[in-house]
Structure 1
Amino acid sequence: MNFEKIQASVRDILEHVGEDPSRDGLLKTPHRVSRMYDELLAGYRMNPEAVINGALFDVDYDEMVVVRDIEYFSLCEHHMLPFIGHAHVAYIPKGKVLGLSKIPRIVDMFARRLQVQERLTTQVANFLVETLQPQGVAVVMEGLHMCSMMRGVKKADARMVTSAMRGVFRHNASTRAEFMEHINRQPTKEF
């Protein structure tokens, strides 16, 4: 990431909207914005093998594994405004399982890029299929998009839901229904 060019661009934007980039409140804004983009777009620099970090295990288990309510944030590639939400991910193993923390990390790896929610959903699903070669993968993502809240249509409560079903989740309605039941039920009480 070229911090100097981003900082110069932010200074230009500030000037073009009629602000003084040298005033106290804005003096460090170009630096802050460049660091923010470095953090928010870190997914481009993430190595998938490092994300998995050897946490792929041979296990004799062939029932559904579900990780739900994974918080994510991303930047819309059209307006560079945030969209935030929850991802729900499931797979049915075929000899291999992934360490629990790796699924949220995979979601983050793809979310921390300029994205559209449809692509983000597909990338998570396809990566899990390639990595695990399971019987099937299901990903449902719910998102709240600032670009439709703050500008344009200005609908604060409009949520987008996208899904990607692979393998048995795509071809077997009862498997898909079981997944949907898992993600739609209320959480159990505190442990």
Structure 2
Amino acid sequence: MPQTPYVLVLFYSRHGSVSEMAKHIARGINKIGNVEAKIRQVPDVSDTTKVASPALPEDGAPYCTLEELADCSGLAIGSPSYFGSMAAPLKHFIDQTSTLWLTGQLIDKPACGFTSASTMHGGQEQCLHSMMTPLLHHGMIWLGLPYKNKELISTTAGGTPYGASHLANSTSESSLTEDEKALCEAQGKRIAEMVVKLKK
């Protein structure tokens, strides 16, 4: 029996905001038939880039493998914005994907991004660009959020045309606004719909 196509929801979350966003993106993915969400995270790394986490996470989603990335039909990638860029643990994981690049295993698969920062101008859009760049090198198709999603206009917190975002009022704030939740779900639905279209 063939495996159901899945969108890999891959993220790093330090204080919980990005993890919460991943759940809403997965909810949007799962609203579309013939495709499912697979939520995975990446482990912390130490200052010397050795894995600083146990082989299995203490809680939350399992750690991602390169095989799961290679076999996905779409990718939603998320990170907190650190000085306008993705977090080092996520970049460390992406830097290990050279074999997938050499073999073209991600070419023509849709991808999107999501992020969180604790200030209004905390580099959310630049962080999305930092995640977009290596995926374009892999030949993936980047999907933003179109303005048909009215929450992009009404939001007073997160939300960008480049991808879903969250404005955390403090580093420990992980609750999303209703607009942010809606945009995350819209992001999930859009990538799942594209996976179905591309599979035809």
Task: Check whether TM > 0.5.
Answer: no
User: TM-score scaled by structure 2?
Assistant: 0.28
Richer in strand (by share): 1
Structure with the bigger percentage of helix: 1
User: Who wins on radius of gyration, i.e. which is larger?
Assistant: 1
* Structure ranking higher on relative contact order (CA contacts 8 Å, 6+ apart): 2
Q: TM-score, normalised by structure 1?
A: 0.29
